[in-house]
Amino acid sequence: VAVVLAARNIGEIETIAEEINGAGGRALAVACDVSRYTDVAATVARCQEAFARLDILVNNAGIFPRVEFLEMTEADWDSVQNVNLKAGFFSAQAAARRMIAAGQGGAIINVASVAAYSGPPLGVHYAASKGGVIGMTRALAMALAGQDIRVNAIAPGLTDTAQPRDG
């Protein structure tokens, strides 16, 4: 099994890649701003160069800055939509293009959130982005079914990561 880890802060994922490689797996850490299509396309290309194929994409980039609805700015809204929704679209598109070209199908897993259903009061932008992920997943599943690419979403609840701890 081979894994490509992508993040803006490569230092965090380099350690994880080293652990995977040290345990006998194969991993590559790549710096990538998932809200920029050129970064995403380059990361997908690096994946294929390093490991010859791309079978599974997991779209799990996400941010959740807490902001009061009446205080939310356009920049607050845009930053969350760019990372949580637009980046998933870019990644799915770039990966699907490679999967289709390889003719071997594949799988795309999008990480949504129960917040899409519960609507956290300090996360109107977050709930909207994760609701968008659910709708996008349904549409992508239909669009890519004929190419033997499965598209699913998972919607976890609160997870013990730095974001809720720092929020």
From 88, 126, 144, 149, active-site residue:
126
Residue with tokens 């990561």: 161
Distance CA 32, CA 28 (A): 12
User: How many separate helices (H) and strands (E) can be counted in the chain?
Assistant: 7, 5
* Cα gap 139→81, rounded to integer Å: 18
The tokens describing 89, both together, are: 């679209």
CA 55 to chain centre: 15
Q: Could you confirm whether 117 is annotated as catalytic?
A: no
- Could you tell me the two tokens for 148? 């033997």
54 contacts 44 by C-beta, under 8 angstroms: yes
Catalytic residues: 126
